[in-house]
Structure 1
Amino acid sequence: MEMVIPYSRKVIVACVSSALIISVMTPRIGLALPVLASVFCFGLIYTIFLFKDPAVGLYTTLAFCFLMPMLGRELNGVPFGIGVEVLLIGTWIAVLFNHHLYDWSVLRVDLVAWTAGWFIISVLEVFNPAGASVMGWIQEIRNSALHAMLLIPLALLILQQKKVSSVNCILWICLAVSVLAAVNGYRQLKILTPGEQIFLQEMASTHLIWGKLRVFSFYTDAGQFGASQAHILLVAVLLALGPFKWWVRGLCLVGAVSLLVGMMISGTRGAFFVLFFGAFFSLILFKNFKALLLGGLAMMLLVGFLKFTTIGNGNYEIARLRTALDPQDASLNLRFINQRKLADYLKTRPFGGGLGVIGVWGHEYNSDKYLSTIEPDSYWVKVWAMYGIVGFTIWFCMMMYLFGKCGGIIWKIRNPKLKIKLVALTAGAFGVFIASYGNEVINRVPSSLVVYVSLALIYLGPAFDRQVNRMNSLSNPS
């Protein structure tokens, strides 16, 4: 009779054999072989886990998008930028391989319809008569539409199968990696890595203000770092106020303090607006009009403190934050000047100049176009420049509709623990959306992917609510 070797033993035998071959060949070939072999083995193991549970791919993508900019700085030449697409497409393949495990009817929601519609509009922009570079379009569409098109349906499928536990996983991943980023940011104040030193040589004009470093941690720049820290800070504060066990609230509170420090050392003024508008929206979602009134009063006092006093100007972080409310600020006035230039140019171009014609990709691929000479300094302005007033109106109405729909969903959630988690995700996403008027936040990782996953979780909220209430009724029968 033929002896059948169990699958696990085959894997062990293959690993041991590979190790022996590598040890023998390394002295002859060099380090390239063991490095490639290690990457291959890690990829093989990851693929096995991915096809066993595609949720691994979703969680990995979310964590990776926080770390990707840092990896690109420190390992220059490795195309980590396409890592998000590779992970998402790999996860889609794993989901299709296990297609029988998923309820595909979950995709029949307006969130997917809006996402697909915006993706189609973005694809059609390649035919924009302004004649922008196709390479610029390829680079820009990734953040503007492709990531959402890949991630939102994927998140709906996977997280619906994982049920309510998926909310906790997403929250803990975002909190843990963000706190790690804050700690890394504090380290950056003391010691810089070689990659960070090269980055600062190129970006000194925007990241060394008044002789002080604007910390950027893992992220593409200080603006993204500060906005992301404020985003997750708001989530942590709301969770710390929730009806959870004392140690959960304690961890969230410690995380919130760390994130507050991270936000402050970034020197990012846009982070203030993430907190302000996110907190305001959370009070609306709670339907707590008394708290809304008190919170509005507190925010007015804070604004008054920053705008009409000079207290704390000796502190760099407070002084930097105060400039966000200064109408004479040179940076603010430059933005208004640029917007007036865009308004004149776009009067006869209702569909804009095309994707990739402004900003980083504009400089690289469309340097011959007028729009590439103007800095958008805002994602709202960037959408207006690329898609024109027609595209901007569609995008803005889409976002406002989705946040309104999310509010309606949350108002109907009965379970208090689930409700505050969804409120935290919605409020944070809304704060990022509003802050994107001042910076390109909502179209860059990690904020963009966190917002997309948040929207998917909120749309799954009613199903999660029914599940939790059913479990509670079974454990506490009347």
Structure 2
Amino acid sequence: MLPLPAFQTRTNLPLLGAGLLLAVLVGWLTASQGMLVPGLLLALAVGAPLLIGIFLEPRLGIIALICYCFLLFFISRLVGGSLPFGMAVDGLLVITWVAVAFQYERYDWRYVQNDLCLLSLAWFGVNVLEIVNPGASLLGWYQEMRSTTLYWVLLVPLALLLFHKQRDLNLFLILLIGLSVLGTLNGLKQLYIGPSAGEQAFLLENAKTHLLWGKLRVFSFYSDAGQFGAAQAHIALVAGILALGPFRAWKRVLLAAAAGLLIIGMFISGTRGALFALMSGLGVALLISKNIKAFVLGSLVALAGFGVLKYTKIGDSNYNIYRMRTALDPADASFNVRLTNQLRLRDYLSSRPFGGGVGTIGNAGIHYNPGKLLSTIPPDSYWVKVWAMYGVVGLTIWMGLMAYLLGKSGGIVWRIRDPALKTKLIALTAGFAGSFFSSYGNEVINFMPSALVVYLSWVFVFLGPRLDTPAPEPTTAPL
């Protein structure tokens, strides 16, 4: 091997020294600060090219957002520290909007002229009016408002502009099913191999809710076990419906396998409300499919499953089945505690038709409104949380919005002619319905990634008429 020229050796020595010095510095900071420093360096290495890519092709912002919302808590537990990882969701949305604004002439703005965007603006307006509610602090209002309405009002029109083609719908389904299956596999790893260091730290802080009778409630890389179980049921429903669609055999086999794996994920989470997500979503799917035989048969199967859980002890030796069965027991201690809390809320809200204020209950209430009565009452339900924050007036508005979106989605699906597209939109509508109804038992529909999946599901269902097979041209009968 020929020796390097002298000038190359002299040039490389300072670079080599700087590299070694930087490696030592990073190693020392990692040893003293944990994974925070390499995590920040990795974020910089990924973030800079991503930023350039979003400005070149803003559609990448939506794709990055989907992936990040699924992996948000995995990243935060891996890196550790107190960095506000959730703010990256806001950042991705704002950056993508800025990229769109710089090249606004590329897009057809007629896509955002629909009732879905108008409804998002109406609910955002309700939240803005809630600022004057004296019950909540401004910071608490902002933290809660982000998931309640800000992501909705930013993401829906953005997706209508950038993510409105058949290929986008297919990519969305692939990502949400693939990432959910990855979540199941990570959950099985937690159960049978053990949690990572970051997951172990989460368990130590939440042992009362995630270690019951010595059994682990698996949470995977989601915010908690409740969100994990409900999200698994949601996507299992989507994958299961798609497995029955007019697709190639190998795709249907993969979808059925994914659905089965996600059902396992639902059970190992120990989340009882996930059962209602599955059953209610299935009922909506059967109804909007307009297949009377399937609706009757599916209803009978669902009633049989309900009867087995409610009136028998079959499977009680399995802890996960036993825990699901307790969701149907009116004497369950957890159920009665929830009823007691709702009675306390009823007394408090009887003189407050507009609620106690956005951000006064739940995590935002604990951190930003300590000392207030609502911050001491766990909502245990997103429906109850909306009632507590917005009062009976706000709850009525929100329920009206959800009912309209569900009814309009069903009406759109009924009129779709393309069988493959119809199956996809039935799956998304049923998933939204399951997430909505299961939110009575848990805070599901406002947490990531379920919130993101629901918002994008609305987008594609409302785009259904544009994506559908064109109606056949009318023919003129010969004279």
TM over 0.5: yes
| Pair 1:369 & 2:372 matched | yes
Instruction: Map Cα deviations across residues 87-141 of structure 1 (whole Å, 9 max, x no partner).
Output: 11111112222212211011111110110110111122111033x1111111101
- Deviation sequence 1:388-423 (CA, Å, 0-9, x none): 100000000011001100111111110000000010
Measured in 1, the distance between the counterparts of 2:382 and 2:39 equals: 40
Separation (CA, whole Å) in 1 of partners of 2:300 and 2:413: 25
**What do you get for the CA RMSD once the two structures are aligned?**
1.8
Q: CA offset at residue 198 of structure 1? A: 1.2
Residue matched to 1:54: 58
Contact 1:353 1:387 in 2 (8 A): yes
- With normalisation by structure 2, the TM-score equals 0.90
Q: What do residues 332-389 of structure 1 show as CA deviations (whole Å, max 9, x unaligned)?
A: 0111111111111101100001011001111111122111111100000000000010
Q: In structure 2, what is the Cα distance between the partners aligned to 1:176 and 1:225?
A: 15
Aligned mates of 1:141, 1:391 — CA distance in 2: 14
* CA distance, structure 2, for counterparts of residue 148 and residue 23 of structure 1: 49
Quick one: structure 1 residues 320 and 128, their matched pair in 2 at CA, closer, same or farther if it must change by over 3 Å?
A: same
Determine if the alignment matches structure 1 residue 155 to structure 2 residue 148. Answer: no
Equivalent in 308, 312, 320 of residue 315 of structure 2:
312
Which residue does 1:473 correspond to in 2? none
What letter corresponds to residue 103 of structure 1 in structure 2?
D
In structure 2, what residue type is equivalent to 1:169? L
- CA distance in 1 between counterparts of 2:211 and 2:434 reads 26
Gaps of 5+ in 1: 1-18, 471-478
**In structure 2, what is the equivalent of residue 422 of structure 1?**
425
* Distance (whole Å) between structure 2 residues aligned to residue 464 and residue 89 of structure 1: 27
Partner of 1:195: 198
Is the Cα–Cα contact under 8 Å of residues 26 and 34 in structure 1 kept in the other structure? no
| 1:98-113 equivalent positions in 2, closer than 5 A | 98-113=103-118
Post-superposition shift, 1:38? 5.7
1:35 to 1:165, Cα distance in 2 relative to 1, 3 A: closer
1:194 and 1:38, CA in 2 relative to 1: closer, same or farther beyond 3 A?
closer
The residue that corresponds to 2:18 in the other structure is 25
Letter of the structure 1 residue corresponding to residue 252 of structure 2: R
Q: Does the residue aligned with 2:163 lie in a helix, a strand or coil?
A: helix
Residues of 1 paired with 2:368 and 2:15: CA distance? 43
Q: SS state of the match for residue 430, structure 2?
A: helix
Moved over 6 A (4+): 19-22, 32-37
Is 1:164 matched with 2:166? Answer: yes
Listed as ranges, the matches of 1:38-437 within 5 Å are: 39-77=43-81, 78-130=83-135, 132-160=136-164, 163-189=165-191, 190-437=193-440
Relative to structure 1, is the Cα distance of residues 395 and 203 closer, same or farther in structure 2, using a 3 angstrom cutoff?
same
Deviates more, 1:290-299 or 1:351-360: 290-299
Flag the 1:127–1:167 CA change in 2: closer, same or farther, 3 A.
Answer: same
Taking the aligned partners of 2:131 and 2:223, their CA distance within structure 1 comes to: 26
2: distance between equivalents of 1:306 and 1:34? 48
Offset, 1:37 = 6.4
Describe the shift of the 1:86–1:20 C-alpha distance in structure 2 as closer, same or farther (beyond 3 A).
Answer: farther
Instruction: Output the TM-score relative to the length of structure 1.
Output: 0.90
- Residue identity matched to 2:227: Q
The 1:333–1:22 alpha-carbon spacing in structure 2 relative to 1, beyond 3 Å, is: farther
What amino acid does structure 1 have at the position aligned with 2:107? Y
The size of the alignment, in residue pairs, is 448
The separation in 1 between residues aligned to 2:213 and 2:41, in whole angstroms, is 48
User: How far, CA to CA, are the matches of 1:309 and 1:44 in structure 2?
Assistant: 57
Q: State the distance in 2 between where 1:39 and 1:203 align.
A: 28
Deviation at 1:285, TM superposition (A): 1.0
Change in Cα spacing, 1:406 to 1:22, as seen in structure 2 (3 Å) is: farther
In structure 2, what residue type is equivalent to 1:170?
F
Encode CA deviations 1:258-296: one digit per residue, 9 max, x unaligned. Answer: 111111110110110011000000011101122212211
Tell which deviates more after alignment, 203-212 or 392-401. 203-212
Does structure 2 retain, via aligned residues, the 8 Å contact 1:384–1:391? yes
CA contact (8 A) 1:128 1:354 kept: yes
Secondary structure of 1:388's aligned partner = helix
Asked whether the equivalents of residues 185 and 217 of structure 1 are also in contact (C-alpha less than 8 Å), the reply is: yes
Query: Does structure 2 retain, via aligned residues, the 8 Å contact 1:22–1:34?
Result: no
Q: 1:215–1:267: 8 Å Cα contact kept in structure 2?
A: yes
Equivalent pair of 2:243/2:253 in contact (CA under 8 Å): yes
**What is the distance in 1 between the residues matched to 2:433 and 2:152?**
16
Contact kept in structure 1, 2:39 and 2:79, CA below 8 Å: no
Instruction: Name structure 2 gaps, 5 residues minimum.
Output: 1-11, 30-36, 473-479
Residue 23 of structure 1: how far off its partner (Å): 4.9
Quick one: distance in 2 between partners of 1:87 and 1:299? 41
Matched residue type, 1:388: G
